[in-house]
Every structure is written in structure tokens, then in C-alpha cells.
Amino acid sequence: MARVLMTGFAPFGGESVNPSWQAVSPVGARRNDVAAVELPCEFGASLPALRRALDEHRPSLVVCVGQAGGRFDVTPERVAINLIDARIPDNAGAQPVDVPVVPDGPAAYFTTLPVKACAAAIRAAGVPASVSHTAGTYVCNQVFYGLMHLLATDFPGARGGFVHVPFSPEQVAAAGKPAPSLSVEKIADALEALADTASTVTEDLPVSAGAEH
């Protein structure tokens, strides 16, 4: 039984790879305490797949990971909102607009991970990191909100959250234009530092991680 469940996404939006799964997969392969699961980038299938993984592995810690092209660093997310507003169709062609993740659910859930401590640990591992206050309104936010709802209602005692990672150099090279990126190896190092910190730290650092906008 794995202590940590870590998920990444299948490629989407015309990409051939997704750095979230590219990094999560090797972490699961080299650590006995991590179960790695790939989630479909589909509104109708992502949360059922996550629920199956929770039922199978019964983790004490869940770290869901997604791609955020355009970000420069690894960003643990602080809050998920009960909203889906898809800019592009998912991999099944669905493009819901202005619908809740969970009808009649709370407006938002905060992560139960110590995101400031996690960001500090990632930086100590030599990878740029910062706390994010928006997980968007696409499948990443849906999974983040859905995870926190499942933990609150059906899996008491488990803690969890979401982290976004930048493009990989492979994606940037394929696009043929400059963009922020991190190597898959660096992203994997960041995820290990995050998981180790979240597994042992319950009180977050009393430092500012606020945003101006």
C-alpha cells in the first residue's frame, strides 16, 4: 500500500507529451512509497479515474500535478474553486463553460499541504518554486477541487493538494519559440522534495507568499 499517491496528466491541447506525467512516472518508479497514476485530460473521466486510484491505494498523502505552460517555476497551488470554464476542448472534445465541479459544493477548497514549506524545500533542492493562488478553470482545477472534495467527504485523514509545473524543454523545442521550461529531471526532483516535506510538515511556514494581483 503506497503512502503517497501522485498523479500526472496525459498530453492535451495538441502537445505530444505532458511534463506532469513525464516527471511523476519516474518518481513512482524509483520510490516504493509513491504510487504514480496518469489521469486523462477529460472532464468526464478525470475524477472517476482519481476516485479509482484513491480506492486502490488508500494513500495518506495525495499530490496531483498538472502542466502550466508559461510559468517559470514549480508552483504548489493554494486554492481550488468550484468552477469549470474551459478555454479549449478537452481530449474528448468537451468544453464546458460556467459549470460547477460539484453541484452545491463549497465555493472553494484550500489545500491541506504546507505550500510555503513545500516551495521552500523545492528551492532548497535547486529548483525555482513559488506559491500560486490560482489553478485556473480547466481540468487541473477540476481535479484539484474534486480531490479536496473527495478527501473532505470520503477519505478522512488523508491530506492533499495540487502543483503546477512548467513546460519541458522538449515541448519548447517542438514549438520552435522561447518559453519558460524546466527539465523533467528537475521537475521530478521538485516533486520528491514536495512529497517529502508534505509528509512530515503539518504547520506551514509563517512567511508571506502573497501576490500583488
Q: Which of 42, 64, 164, 192 is catalytic?
A: 164
Fold type of domain 4-200: Aminopeptidase (3.40.630)
Task: Convert 129-162 to b/e letters by CB count within 10 Å (16 or more is b).
Answer: bbbbeebbbbbbbbbbbbbbbbbeeebeebbbbb
57 is catalytic: no
Q: Which of 77, 118, 149, 192 is catalytic?
A: 77
Phi and psi at residue 21, to the nearest 5°: -75, -35
End-to-end CA distance of the chain: 42
pLDDT tens digits for 47-62?
999 999 999 999 999 9
118 is catalytic: no
pLDDT tens digits for 172-185?
998 887 788 899 99
- Nearest Cα residue to 204 out of 74, 117, 109, 122: 117
pLDDT at 120: 97
Residue 144 has pLDDT above 90, yes or no: yes
212 is catalytic: no
pLDDT band at 83 (very low <50, low <70, confident <90, very high): very high
160, 62 Cβ separation under 8 angstroms? yes
Q: Which of 15, 118, 140, 192 is catalytic?
A: 140
Residue 211 has pLDDT above 80, yes or no: no
